[in-house]
């Protein structure tokens, strides 16, 4: 009964127009008050959720993404990707996907990816003759690679909540991220051939070489980050600091697009971009505590164990359940509410922490694509100047679901690299 009251309060406050984070805090406070529990516990939960050394990596990687965008890294990566595959049918759309793979090794943020690349590529694709819904759909879907290929901000949050090795999650995401890249490239190629989308001009080696040399310093960033973690030289949090310093080096020394005057605006943008996820983390912790008080976790345990004792089927149920949750709830909020409930269940099934973590991350990132709440689709459709319900995204959602199923069926995809390098 208490669980029903808590969710009723949440839905009611949302219907009044409150943001999700505010609704979670208010509903949690009201639920605890009705249960005659001290509300000041919520303040401790709010502060305790973000008072974490591990979570310090989040603002550093967000700042690194902002710095990379301002330093010209995104443009140089797009130019290099265009030289490699821009001559193919639907070349600009395929460049969109390849550039996301390159950019993922630096930003760790799907939102940063879709915002930076979308502003450059969506208008260009529309001008070249691509349909606006397709241009927005490709950009939004490709950005998901940034949350699966390391370094990933959502992996850092997941690891801090569940005490899963963040380095293990980083290395475990490499193979699924590459598989997703291949799936997206194939879908883009098939749709481009069917719809007659244009192809660009093939670049000669003489044209490609200077572009490649210009992009190499940027492409070295993931090697620096993962190499430091692999050899035990830095923690993921310290790797975020290194990413910031390296980005500033690229922007001020290599590409010379960051000036002392622009540094202040970079810090302002980073602070604003950091405040949103950190507030969501804090508010979700309060709601998660309220759920725990109601006994929702025990209820979920009984329901799931009653449905199946098969670990693979449990993972498939998780994938579909979180996909449904993502239709209505922002991904970080969904992570912080449902991960503390599902992760202990996965351990009881004997599922490796890294495998289950990556499954949940893939499932949660699907929610950033699905209308009406999908953040990446909203950003891309806004840039393309179309309604979010018109975005051509469902072929790509099917591909991401397929990656989730592969993670559930084949543990080696996520466990091979962590067991080898960590």
Structure tokens that stand for 381 in this block = 């459709």
Q: What is the pLDDT of residue 372?
A: 66
Structure tokens that stand for 275 in this block = 């405040």
Alpha carbons 60 and 381: distance in angstroms, whole number: 28
Cβ-Cβ contacts under 8 Å for 355 (sequence gap 6 or more): 172, 407, 411, 414, 415
The separation between CA 261 and the C-alpha centre of its own chain, rounded to angstroms, equals: 31
Alpha carbons 254 and 89: distance in angstroms, whole number: 33
Q: What is the pLDDT of residue 387?
A: 85
Number of other residues whose CB lies within 10 A of the CB of residue 421? 15
Torsion sign over Cα 96, 99, 105, 111: negative
The DSSP-derived string for 11-67 is HHHHHTT--HHHHHHHHHHHHHHHTT--THHHHHHHHHHH--TGGGHHHHHHHHHHH
Alpha carbons 410 and 389: distance in angstroms, whole number: 34
Closest listed residue to residue 392, CA positions, set 138, 92, 130, 98: 138
Phi, psi of 199 (to 5 degrees): -130, 150
127, 163 in Cβ contact below 8 A? no
Torsion sign over Cα 25, 26, 29, 31: negative
Structure tokens that stand for 90 in this block = 């639907």
pLDDT (tens digit per residue) in 302-354: 777 677 778 999 999 889 888 888 777 777 778 877 888 888 888 888 999 99
Q: What is the pLDDT of residue 1?
A: 66
Q: What is the pLDDT of residue 297?
A: 67
Phi, psi of 294 (to 5 degrees): -75, -10
Q: What is the pLDDT of residue 91?
A: 87
Specify the length of the chain in residues: 422
CA distances, 206 to each of 83, 129, 210, 214, 330 (Å): 11, 28, 7, 13, 46
Residue 89 forms beta bridges with which residues? 199
286, 45 in Cβ contact below 8 A? yes
Q: What is the pLDDT of residue 52?
A: 77
Alpha carbons 320 and 91: distance in angstroms, whole number: 33
Residues of the chain with pLDDT under 50: none
Closest listed residue to residue 397, CA positions, set 210, 187, 147, 150: 187
């Amino acid at each position: 009964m208490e669980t029903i009251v808590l969710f009723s309060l949440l839905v009611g406050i949302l219907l009044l127009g409150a943001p999700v984070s505010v609704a979670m805090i208010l509903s949690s406070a009201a639920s605890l008050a009705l249960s005659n529990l001290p509300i000041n516990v919520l303040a401790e939960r709010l502060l305790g959720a973000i008072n974490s050394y591990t979570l310090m990596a989040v603002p550093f990687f967000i700042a690194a993404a902002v710095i990379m965008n301002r330093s010209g890294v995104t443009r140089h990566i797009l130019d290099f990707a265009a030289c490699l595959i821009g001559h193919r049918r639907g070349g600009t759309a395929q460049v969109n996907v390849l550039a996301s793979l390159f950019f993922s090794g630096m930003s760790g943020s799907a939102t940063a990816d879709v915002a930076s690349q979308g502003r450059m590529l969506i208008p260009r694709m529309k001008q070249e003759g691509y349909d606006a819904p397709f241009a927005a759909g490709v950009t939004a879907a490709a950005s998901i690679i940034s949350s699966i290929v390391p370094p990933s901000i959502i992996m850092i949050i997941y690891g801090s909540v569940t005490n899963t090795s963040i380095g293990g999650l980083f290395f475990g995401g490499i193979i699924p991220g590459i598989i997703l890249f291949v799936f997206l490239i194939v879908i883009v190629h098939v749709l481009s051939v069917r719809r007659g989308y244009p192809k660009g001009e093939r670049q000669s080696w003489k044209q490609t070489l200077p572009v490649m040399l210009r992009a190499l310093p940027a492409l070295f960033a993931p090697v620096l980050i993962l190499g430091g973690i692999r050899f035990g030289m830095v923690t993921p949090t310290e790797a975020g600091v290194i990413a910031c310093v390296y980005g500033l080096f690229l922007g001020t020394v290599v590409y010379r697009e960051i000036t002392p005057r622009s540094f202040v605006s970079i810090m302002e943008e980073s602070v604003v971009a950091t405040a949103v996820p950190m507030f969501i983390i804090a508010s979700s912790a309060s709601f998660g505590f309220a759920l725990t008080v109601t006994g929702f976790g025990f209820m979920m345990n009984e329901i799931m164990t009653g449905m199946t004792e098969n670990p693979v089927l449990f993972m498939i149920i998780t994938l579909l359940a979180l996909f449904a949750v993502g239709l209505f709830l922002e991904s970080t909020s969904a992570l912080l509410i449902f991960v503390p409930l599902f992760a202990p269940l996965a351990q009881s099934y004997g599922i490796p922490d890294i495998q289950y973590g990556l499954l949940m991350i893939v499932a949660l990132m699907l929610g950033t694509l699905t209308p009406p709440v999908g953040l990446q689709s909203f950003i891309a459709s806004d840039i393309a100047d179309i309604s979010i319900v018109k975005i051509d995204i469902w072929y790509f959602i099917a591909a991401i679901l397929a990656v989730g199923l592969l993670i559930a069926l084949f543990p080696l995809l996520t466990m091979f690299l962590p067991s080898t390098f960590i």
